[in-house]
Amino acid sequence: MNGITGTLRSCAADTLVIEPEGAAAKASVFFIHGLAENCCRHIQFAVELAKNGYQAVLFDLPGHGWDSGDARDLLWLAQGCIAVDEPQDLAVFLKIYAAQYRAAAESVMRQNYQKLKRLSMEDNLQFVRNIIESHRQGGADQPYFIAGHSMGGLLAAETARRIAIQGDDALKGVLLLSPAIRAVNPPHSSGFTRFIENAAWKMKPCRGMCRFLTVLTRLSRVKMDIRWSFSHLSDLEFEPDVQAADPLLRKDLPAAYLLAIYELMQDFRKYSDSYPRDIALFAALDDKLVNGQEAADFGKKVQKNRGEKVNMVFQYPDFWPHELLRSSKKAEITSHVLDFLRQHCNA
């Protein structure tokens, strides 16, 4: 296993590339992390892809992870997350990492917060497109996939839709893990922030109102934060220790950023009946952060329109963890993902 080949400077982003050993990659998989997270959260999944012959490309979205920091700090974190794959060991490593990089991490998180206040989902979509286009220069015919978790799933689905309608046949499919097609309810907050979130939620069919509230929160001098809870991420015994130790998991988010996600959710729903690429979708139906049933319903529409043999939809009834790749279903889901990749690389 070659591990991380290095960081590639592109599009103002530090990209982690994990290569298969001893042979050319069958395809590339661009993985987009979720809200408040960073690219190292699912790096073990990327290692599994590389072991099976696929190149994995990971990166921090704007305002997340080490986006505002030194690439060498990200590389050190990524190498550690690869070396220790057991949750209890990872928690110990992250505590050491946090102690060594505390000042740098706190500085980065402050800078990231200011970025998040100004960012739109269009900024994120363009960022992802730039990453993909820059990375694929010189290998435009190589097959590739776009994968995403939670908010990253929404971004992956919309990015792939836009690329597909432009006729890029090298894009073979989309992997969606607990995609944020629709949220369940606003995260825990209080005061005026709670009012803003509830207003956006109850008026969810009205994109104009959602947009108005987004602008209002950005212009207001009142600090409107969402206190983000990680209690619904995983059912693994030591995962809460990992979450507590990770210095790059955001505990607070500007309300305007969440409202911007709601806007994209509403826009994306318009295209669900005519989605132009095959998908593999995984949803826990009792997910407390996103609407697993609505995600599964979207997947079934794609199956109906594009064929059940080439589109995979996996629903997990009575299962609640949001981060499926950091849950007891990890091995099963990884196996299904590899089946989907093999099927579409050989198509």
Average pLDDT (225-242) is 82
Residue 117: partners with Cβ closer than 8 Å, 6 or more residues away: 218, 254, 256, 257
- Three-state secondary-structure class, residue 166: coil
* Residue 234 pLDDT: 93
Provide the mean pLDDT of the chain. 84
Q: Where are the domains of the chain?
A: 4-185+236-242+268-345
pLDDT digits (tens, 9 = 90+) for 51-62: 999 999 999 999
Per-residue confidence (pLDDT) for residue 211, from 0 to 100: 61
User: Per the confidence metrics, is the pTM higher than 0.75?
Assistant: yes
Backbone angles phi, psi at 104, to 5 degrees: -65, -45
Which of 232, 235, 216 lies closest to 224, judged by CA? 216
Per CATH, domain 4-185+236-242+268-345 is 2.70.70.10:
no
> How far apart, in whole angstroms, are the C-alpha atoms of residue 121 and residue 268?
12
pLDDT tops 70 at residue 205: no
> Does residue 139 carry a pLDDT above 90?
no
Q: In which band, very low, low, confident or very high, does the pLDDT at 259 lie, cut at 50, 70 and 90?
A: confident
pLDDT reported for residue 198: 60
pLDDT at 283: 98
pLDDT at residue 68 greater than cutoff 70? yes
Give the C-alpha separation, 256 to 268, whole Å.
19
pLDDT given for residue 326 in this prediction: 94
Find the range with the poorest average confidence among 75-79, 140-144, 161-165, 259-263: 75-79
The span from the CA of 160 to the CA of 62, in Å, is: 19
Average pLDDT over residues 73-79: 78
Task: Provide the pLDDT confidence category of residue 217 given band limits of 50, 70 and 90.
Answer: low
Decide if pLDDT at 200 tops 70.
Answer: no
Report the alpha-carbon distance of residue 200 to residue 178 in Å, rounded.
22
